[in-house]
Amino acid sequence: MRQSVFFLSLVLCVVAATPAMAEDAPPFKVKDVAPGDDERPEGWNPVVKSGVIPDTAPTVKVLLALGKTAGIEDGTLSARSRSIQKEDDTAAVVSIVGIEVKNEAFTNGLADAAVKHGWKVRELASPMRVAVVWASKAELCEELLTWQAHLAAKKITQAAVRRSGSVSSMEQARALLGYVGNALKIEPESGMTNSFLANMLDRMRNPDGALAAYRKAVKADAPIPAPPYWQMQAGARIGHILLLKGNKEFLKEAAKALERAVELSEHAKVGVEKFGPVYNLACAYSRMGRLDDAFKALEKSLAIGKAELADEWGFHFEHAKVKDPDLEPLRGDPRFAEMLKKYDPNPAPEKDDAPEKPDGDGDGDK
């Protein structure tokens, strides 16, 4: 099994423990999670017809008025809304509203308005961050609420990725974990958010915590799927972590995760990201006794390594040749020596088997 490679550009101080998700997670700003001009649910378009949105829909104007009635000071309530419609003139308003301190009068007013006007409300985070939806077909409200919630979780995760590059202390790491915890509160099973969380925990030397999050990240039915590149990384890390555990019971899961990572290796950005998963897959197959599969995976990894790892190839080759115990079941097979000879970074010069010619002209000494 090869050495681990970490992926996302997160620079953390060396720590031994995992920070817990902060209860007082740094709040996100409403404007940061509201739909952009080109963001809307599939099948919906910006409203172009007048009169399709009633005056009672939860637009910014209506929400601000509701806040004023609740005694909220100007400037302390933030709201964003998008008005959308379908081709059949079905209309909807999707809004986000936030206040820095919970206000019982506003909460009650929002609940009363929801009942009166057919709004649907979902709290996204605390302090108060709420999604509010109205649709001319009431049965579409839950679908639109879920869309807005998932969009918010996705945008929070993307912001966390951007911030991760400047993390250089444990305090900053805790704050970032708390911030991305907002996304997990919105959607605990998010493939994208769990992938990012797993990478953080991995770097913070918490393999068990990372493994749990990586497993969520690669679920085929995960809401808010992780990008293919992240899924590749997650599969590679699941395989590596499970192989390190050394228990045979984990080999099947390790192989399955690594097979998926290999399938996604077209998204790899550097050679070592292609080499690692397929090499570790060879190790998993070897330990499972699937020797033919192990040799196929090993040859693929050796070909990638020799072609793309440049100066690092000698180190990885030597590890595979004599040091990696996972490949021990292969070493007694003639195919192993033949394969190593083919991909050796420093092949021995071939011997000339032709007989040496005698000195002189062939007539003997005079």
pLDDT digits (tens, 9 = 90+) for 4-50: 544 443 333 333 333 344 444 567 889 999 998 889 999 999 987 88
Cβ atoms of 305 and 343 closer than 8 Å: yes
**pLDDT of the residue at 361:** 54
**pLDDT of the residue at 351:** 63
pLDDT tens across 86-126, in order?
A: 999 999 999 999 998 889 999 999 999 999 999 999 999 87
Indicate the average pLDDT of the chain: 88
φ, ψ for residue 163 (rounded to 5)? Answer: -75, -25
Dist CA 224 CA 120 (whole Å):
22
Dist CA 275 CA 262 (whole Å):
9
Res. 224 pLDDT band, cuts 50 70 90? very high
Overall average pLDDT of the 350-358 stretch: 59
Q: How far is residue 352 from each of residues 9, 97, 226, measured CA to CA in Å?
A: 51, 81, 56
Tell whether the torsion through CA atoms of 30, 32, 36 and 41 is positive or negative: negative
**pLDDT of the residue at 358:** 58
Residue 366 has pLDDT above 50, yes or no: no
**pLDDT of the residue at 328:** 96
**pLDDT of the residue at 144:** 97
Greatest mean pLDDT among 236-245, 344-353, 357-366: 236-245
Helices (H), 204-333: 207-217, 228-245, 251-263, 271-288, 291-308, 313-318
Overall average pLDDT of the 249-260 stretch: 97
Neighbours of 111 (CB within 10 A): 12
Token pair in block for residue 150: 């998932």
Dist CA 3 CA 174 (whole Å):
27
**pLDDT of the residue at 354:** 54
Indicate the CATH number of 227-343 among 3.30.70.141, 3.40.630.10, 1.25.40.10, 3.50.50.60: 1.25.40.10
Neighbours of 353 (CB within 10 A): 5
**pLDDT of the residue at 171:** 87
pLDDT tens across 129-177, in order?
A: 999 999 999 999 999 999 999 999 999 999 999 999 888 888 888 889 9
Residue 74 has pLDDT above 90, yes or no: no
Overall average pLDDT of the 332-341 stretch: 95
Dist CA 4 CA 68 (whole Å):
56
Question: What distance lies between CA 220 and its chain's CA centroid?
Answer: 13
**pLDDT of the residue at 12:** 37
- Residues in Cβ contact with 349 at an 8 Å cutoff, skipping those fewer than 6 apart: none
Dist CA 227 CA 335 (whole Å):
38
The pTM (predicted TM-score) of the whole model is 0.84
Amino acid letter for position 126:
S
Domain ranges for the chain:
30-168, 227-343
**pLDDT of the residue at 118:** 97
- Residues in Cβ contact with 161 at an 8 Å cutoff, skipping those fewer than 6 apart: 8, 196
Neighbours of 341 (CB within 10 A): 10
Q: Between 207-217 and 191-203, two packed helices, what is the crossing angle to 10 degrees?
A: 160
Overall average pLDDT of the 53-59 stretch: 96
Q: Count each helix (H run) and each strand (E run) in the chain, helices first.
A: 13, 5
